[in-house]
């Protein structure tokens, strides 16, 4: 018999879009601020050409948005027979003692508590305001909890 296929939780497309817009605006404002500082201490008596300002605003904004979109979709959590795996660590089911949704700042996140006393905050699923909202957050938490309880107390039939 084959093992049950893993469940994967990733940010929604709205969350990825929000992350991309945030990084794009952040990189554009940083670039624009750098341009203003450099124009104040410009060594020549002339000001920088007029085409520089839109360039300083648009290119870093687009680059930040593209990087945010790519990195936002790669973040995720895989739940399988062995346990919960994130990009940086893996928690076997035998070490997970509790799994719950918690409020952290402006977001609801899923925290996994291990028998060592550590807690791991999962990168997905999460829910927050505006672009970070996930209408299926409670169902995803329920699914995670069900998978954990099934593996913890008797396993999942394949």
Topology of the domain covering 77-152: OB fold (Dihydrolipoamide Acetyltransferase, E2P) (2.40.50)
C-alpha radius of gyration, the chain, whole number:
22
Backbone phi, then psi, for 93, in 5-degree steps?
A: -60, -30
pLDDT in tens, 12-68: 888 888 888 888 888 888 888 888 787 777 666 666 677 777 888 888 888 888 887
pTM: 0.70
pLDDT in tens, 80-118: 888 888 877 888 888 888 888 889 888 888 888 988 888
Domain ranges of the chain: 9-74, 77-152
User: Closest Cα partner for 15 from 132, 109, 126, 117?
Assistant: 132
């Amino acid at each position: 018999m084959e093992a049950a296929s893993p469940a994967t939780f990733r940010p929604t497309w709205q969350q990825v879009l929000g992350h991309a817009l945030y990084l794009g605006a952040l990189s554009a404002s940083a670039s624009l601020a750098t341009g203003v500082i450099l124009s104040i201490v410009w060594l020549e008596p002339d000001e920088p050409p007029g085409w520089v300002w839109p360039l300083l605003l648009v290119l870093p904004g687009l680059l930040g948005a593209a990087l945010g979109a790519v990195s936002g979709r790669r973040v995720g959590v895989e739940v399988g027979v062995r346990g919960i795996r994130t990009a940086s660590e893996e928690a076997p089911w035998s070490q997970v003692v509790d799994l719950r949704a918690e409020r952290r700042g402006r977001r609801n996140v899923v925290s996994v508590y291990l028998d060592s006393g550590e807690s791991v905050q999962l990168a997905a699923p999460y829910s927050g305001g505006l672009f970070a909202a996930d209408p299926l957050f409670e169902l995803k938490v329920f699914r995670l909890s069900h998978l954990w309880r099934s593996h913890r107390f008797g396993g999942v039939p394949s």
